[in-house]
Structure 1
C-alpha cells in the first residue's frame, strides 16, 4: 500500500489570476489516495475565500509587506504540526517564506514559476528586490517547475537548478449556445449587436500590454468604425486605461473582475493578448476552446502555445503597426478567422489538466522519496 504524502501549497492569494487557478486545478486534480493537499495564503482575499468554498483546507498567514518575515515562526509551527512532507510555493512572497520554512524543518520545497519576475511589478525597485530575494533563496529549493521553456531558460540564467517544464493545463469548458451567449452579454453591457468586438482578459497591469490594444484600436477604427473594445479584469491601470479610451473616443466596456470570464468569450469577434511579458498565457487555451480567433504577442511561452499563422497570428510586443495588421487580416478575412479558430480548437487538448497533474505528482514523489 502506497504511503499518503502531505503537500502544502503556499501562494500570496490577494487576487485570482493564472497562478491561483493553476493551484486550484492542482489541488482538485491530484490523486487523493496518494496525496493530501493543504493551502496557505499570505493575504486575506478572494482566493482564500474561493478555496474554502471548494472545501480545501486553507490557512492564512498574512504578510504586511513583501519582506515581512514575522509570519514565519507561526507558519513553521503549523507546518510541523500538520506533518507536511513537501512545500510547494508560488510567487515571490511564498518563495521567501516557504523556502526558509522548509529549510528550517528539513523538508523538500518545490517552486512553480508562473511568470517573469522582472515584469511583475509596477516599480522597478520592487522588481529588483524580488529578483534579489529569489537569487538568495533559489539554492534552498529542491526543484523548480516552469510553465514554459522560455521561463526555464530565464530561471536557469539566475541560478535555478533541477528545472522541469510542465505546461499549465486547461479543463474542458462547457459553453452555452454561442449565438445566444453573444446576444446575452452584448445586451447586458449595452454593446450594439452589429459592433465588431475585440476583447481581452487579464489584470489591468502594464505587463498585459492593454495600452497597445488602445493604440491599435485608434488605427483600426479608421477601417472598422463599429469597433468596440471589451476588457475583462481589474487592476492598477484601470483609471489610466479608461482615461486613454475616452481621450481617443473609443467605444469600450470594462467589466471588472469576473469569476467565470471565459463565458464571455463568445461575445468577441477577436481575442487579443498583447502582453509584454507572459509565462504561458493560460487564457489562450480558453479562447481556443471558445472558437474565437486569436492575435497575441510573441513573448514568453505564448509561441509555445500558439503556432504562428496556424492557431493564431502573432506580433512583436509593443509593435502597434504589426498588431494592427494582424487584427485587420482576421477582421477582413472570415475564412482565415475560421481556419485559425478551427486549428486552435484541435490543438488546446494537448495542454490538459490531467497531464499537468500527473507530471506534477511525479515530481512530488521524486523529491520526497
Structure 2
C-alpha cells in the first residue's frame, strides 16, 4: 500500500544526505509518495527531485539559535501539513529535535515519527549539556528511534526513547573504476606495477573530512613512526606512502605537520573518484575517535582493500574479524598494523578476502528499505486502528 512519507534532514554534504537520497529513491521505486524537507543547499548538493521526491525547503541549521529555531519549527509544521505526511522520518539529532517540536507530544492524533541517529554528539562542557537536551528531545518525541550502530541504540534508550532499534546504514554501491590501477598509482606517487622489476611501495589511503573526529593528527604521527623505521629494512614495501582524500577545517594544521616532519603524505582534497582510489590502494586506514558504520570501510571491504581501523563506536560490529582493529589515539598501534600489512602480502590477501566476505554478509539497501517500510506500516496501522 502506498504511503506518504516526509523525510527531514539538516545541512549535509556527506553520508546523511547520501543516505536520505538513496532512501527516498528506494521508497519512490516501491510506490511511496516521498517529500524531503531540509535546507535548499542540501537539495542542491544531492538533487532529491532526481530521486523522484518532492522537495520543500526549510532551513535547519547545524547550530542552536532559539529565534531561528522557532521559525524552523513553524516552517516544518507547515511543510509536513502540506505534504499530508502519514509518517515523518527525521535524520540526525537537530532534525529529529526540531521535527519533534513541530509535531508536538506523542498522542493518538499526532503524526507518528521516526528518528535515525547517525552520529554521536562529540562535545564537552556547556555544548555537551546543550546537545544532550537536544538528544533527549529527539529520542523522546519519536515513536521509533533507529541507531546506525549499537552504541547509538543504547544511547537512545538511556535518553528515554520508548522504542529504539538498530537501523544499519548501508554504503551505496560505488561506480566502477574509470582508470587503470597502474595509472592511478603513478599519479599518487607510488609508481605503476612492476616498475623496473622492483617491489611496489605500499599505498595507504584515508578518506574523510579533515575534522577532529577523524583524528588525522594521530594518523600523521603513525606515518612519522613508520617513515622513521625505514633504516630497519631494505624492503621499499616497509615505507608506505599515505594519501588522504577529503577537505575540512584542519587542512592547514595537517599540512603544517606534514611539512614540519617532512612526511611522505599527500592531502588530495575533495575527490569524487573513490572507486579509483580504492583500486589503487593497498591498505585503508580509519583513525577516527568515533564512527557508526563508516561508509568508506564498507566500500573498502567490498573492493577487497585491507582495513586498519580504530575500535570505536560501531566499527567492531561492522568489520568483525575482517579488519585489524587498534585503540583510538594510538599512533604506535596504527603504525604496527600498517607495517604488518606492508611487509606481509599474505596478510593483505587474507584480510582482503575476509573483507569481501564480510561485506556480502552486511544488510544491503533493499533489506534496509524492508525494515523502514515495516516500521512505517506499524506506525500507520496503529494510527488507523
TM-score normalised by the chain length of structure 1: 0.89
In structure 2, the partner of 1:111 is 115
Instruction: Please say which of residues 296-305 and 104-113 is displaced more in the overlay.
Output: 104-113
Call closer, same or farther: CA 1:63–1:184 in 2, change over 3 Å: same
Aligned residues: 359
In structure 2, the partner of 1:131 is 132
Question: Is residue 275–residue 297 contact of structure 1 (8 Å, CA) maintained in 2?
Answer: yes
Query: Residues of 1 paired with 2:187 and 2:47: CA distance?
Result: 25
In structure 1, the partner of 2:357 is 346
Call closer, same or farther: CA 1:185–1:55 in 2, change over 3 Å: farther
In structure 2, the partner of 1:8 is 6
In structure 2, the partner of 1:240 is 253
Query: Residues of 2 paired with 1:302 and 1:137: CA distance?
Result: 24
In structure 2, the partner of 1:42 is 39
Structure 1 alignment gaps of length 5 or more: none
Query: Residues of 2 paired with 1:195 and 1:100: CA distance?
Result: 55
In structure 1, the partner of 2:78 is 77
**Could you give the per-residue CA deviations for residues 134-174 of structure 1, whole angstroms, max 9, x where no partner exists?**
21343211110111212211222222220110212234445
Give the secondary-structure state (helix, strand or coil) at the position aligned to 1:126: helix
Query: Residues of 2 paired with 1:172 and 1:138: CA distance?
Result: 30
Call closer, same or farther: CA 1:71–1:151 in 2, change over 3 Å: closer
Call closer, same or farther: CA 1:184–1:38 in 2, change over 3 Å: farther
**Could you give the per-residue CA deviations for residues 305-345 of structure 1, whole angstroms, max 9, x where no partner exists?**
112xx311001111222222111211111001101101111
Q: Per-residue deviation at 1:31?
A: 5.8
Query: Residues of 2 paired with 1:47 and 1:92: CA distance?
Result: 22
Q: Per-residue deviation at 1:278?
A: 0.8
Query: Residues of 2 paired with 1:255 and 1:125: CA distance?
Result: 35
Choose which of 372, 376, 379 in structure 2 pairs with 1:367: 379
Give the secondary-structure state (helix, strand or coil) at the position aligned to 1:127: helix
Query: Residues of 2 paired with 1:290 and 1:255: CA distance?
Result: 20
Structure 2 alignment gaps of length 5 or more: 193-199, 231-235
Choose which of 192, 199, 204 in structure 1 pairs with 2:205: 199
Q: Per-residue deviation at 1:43?
A: 5.5
Q: Does 1:25 align with 2:22?
A: yes
Query: Residues of 1 paired with 2:186 and 2:53: CA distance?
Result: 37
Query: Mapping of 1:208-227 within 5 angstroms?
Result: 208-224=214-230, 226-227=239-240
